[in-house]
Amino acid sequence: MSNLKKSEAKIDVAGFSVKGARFLVECEQDSNTYNNSIILKAEKYKRFARSGWVAQVGDGVEKKILEENNLGAGDKVFFDAYSGLDVELNGKDYKIITIENLLCKECN
């Protein structure tokens, strides 16, 4: 579990600041791991989703999008596992993704 809090607008991540219309997402431990497994042909076309917590929202993301979706730092989101850019900061896995890569947000 993450210690991110919804009330924070931006979580400090090793002095890193995401720019533009992007999100920095702290990835949850990947549940889709394959060790010495054979992936069947039908699985070849299956898309996988990953989950994580929004750590930062870039300055280029429109406020209207954030307000309409009630989206901000600390929210748990699901995104396309093969999208974005993988980054490791302070031993944790992060993804830099765009709004198009977000699939849904967990609602409480």
Per-residue pLDDT of 24-78, as tens digits, reads 999 987 544 444 444 444 455 556 889 999 999 998 999 998 998 889 999 999 9
Say if 61 falls within a structural domain: yes
- pLDDT reported for residue 30: 58
- What's the domain count of the chain? 1
- pLDDT reported for residue 87: 92
Higher pLDDT, 10 or 28: 28
Residue 96 is part of which domain span?
1-29+47-101
Higher pLDDT, 70 or 12: 70
Asked whether the beta carbons of 65 and 99 are under 8 A apart, the reply is yes
- pLDDT reported for residue 93: 92
Count Cβ atoms within 10 A of the Cβ of residue 52 and give its class: 0-12 exposed, 13-18 middle, 19 or more buried: buried
Say if 38 falls within a structural domain: no
CATH number of the domain residue 88 falls in: 2.30.33.40
Model confidence at 96, pLDDT cuts 50, 70, 90, reads: very high
Say if 80 falls within a structural domain: yes
Say if 19 falls within a structural domain: yes
pLDDT reading at 106 higher than 90 = no
